[in-house]
């Protein structure tokens, strides 16, 4: 019984480590083999590129946002404000 428990825990550790590997690598799993290959690199964008893409205008035209104060209602507990 102890050998069976040890085998199951080893199998679970192997499955968990494989799931970590698949985040960094693409895995193709045909019927009777596992082929692991390096995943395609995702180009990283700068903050300027992300803001320009989100707002649809150059970064120089993006101004500060004015947020309105939100009334969340009466305190419900021991919040300290």
CB-based contacts of 36, cutoff 8 Å, min separation 6: 21, 25, 26, 27
In a domain, 67, yes or no: no
Q: CA-CA distance, 6 to 9, in Å (whole number)?
A: 5
In a domain, 68, yes or no: no
Residue 72 has a pLDDT of: 82
pTM exceeding 0.85: no
Domain count, the chain: 1
H helices then E strands: how many in the chain? 2, 2
Residue range of the domain that includes 30:
2-61
Q: Which helix (H) or strand (E) holds 27?
A: strand 25-28
Confidence of residue 73 (pLDDT cuts 50, 70, 90): confident
pLDDT tens for 35-62 read 888 888 888 999 999 999 999 999 899 8
The first and second tokens of residue 7, run together, are 């085998």
């Amino acid at each position: 019984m102890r050998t069976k428990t040890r085998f199951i825990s080893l199998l679970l550790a192997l499955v968990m480590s494989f799931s970590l590997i698949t985040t960094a690598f693409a895995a193709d799993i045909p019927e009777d083999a596992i082929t692991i290959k390096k995943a395609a690199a995702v180009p990283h964008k700068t903050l300027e590129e992300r803001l320009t893409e989100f707002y649809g205008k150059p970064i120089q035209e993006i101004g500060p946002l004015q947020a309105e104060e939100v009334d969340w209602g009466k305190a419900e507990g021991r919040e300290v404000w």
